[in-house]
Amino acid sequence: MSFLDERLWYVLKTRPRAEKQVETLLTLRGAESYLPLIRSHRNRQRTEPLFPGYLFCHVEIPSVQWVEVRSLPGVAYALSTEGRPVPVSSDLVETMRLRVQYEEECHQRSRFKPGEQVRILGGPFQGLEAAFDRRLSASGRSRVLLHLVNRLVPVELQEGLLVSSGSRNFG
């Protein structure tokens, strides 16, 4: 059986900022899709595509559904080589799903709340108190705000170097 006879994952290139629109249209057409979303670095309350301008579609080629998918508003083209769509392994898509889920769970599991007063246990700022701002990565990289020279200065360090000071508000 050739790869053109199976229902595999393919990468669709979308028009700028049309990923979510295309994902919705694919769902309405009964095509399975996956748009990996991560927390925005600028605003941790929002999500944005991990691969801006791309999403994954699980569809059979050739089929009427494939023709519909390629002609959806917002779809620019499918990634292909020599005119043939290039399949992506299900393992790769599943690994991405698990990694994105892990990142989200780690984001939600931070030991500290924004604004919580913490004490730094190591490094050049050892012994200083700061306000916990947010977790930056699943590996535990976090940002705190130090009160230095009459201003709050953002500093990035490992969450493992922090311990709660007890109070919630820092100013």
Q: What range does the domain containing 48 cover?
A: 3-108
Q: Does residue 96 lie in a domain region? A: yes
In this predicted model, what pLDDT tens digit does every residue of 18-72 receive, in sequence order? 999 999 999 999 999 999 998 877 776 788 999 999 999 999 989 999 999 999 9
**Looking at the domain assignment, is residue 68 inside a domain?**
yes
Please check the confidence at residue 171 and state whether its pLDDT lies above 50: no
Percent of the chain with pLDDT over 90: 62
Domain count, the chain: 2
Is the pLDDT at 2 greater than 60, yes or no? no
Could you tell me if 138 and 104 lie in one domain?
Answer: no
Domain check: are 59 and 129 in the same one? no
Give pTM, 2 decimals. Answer: 0.65
CB 120 within 8 A of CB 170: no
Same domain, 79 and 9: yes
Q: Both 121 and 86 in a single domain?
A: no
Is the predicted pLDDT of residue 167 greater than 60, yes or no?
Answer: no
CA distances to 72, 122, 128, 130, 143 from 125, rounded to whole Å, are 54, 7, 6, 10, 13
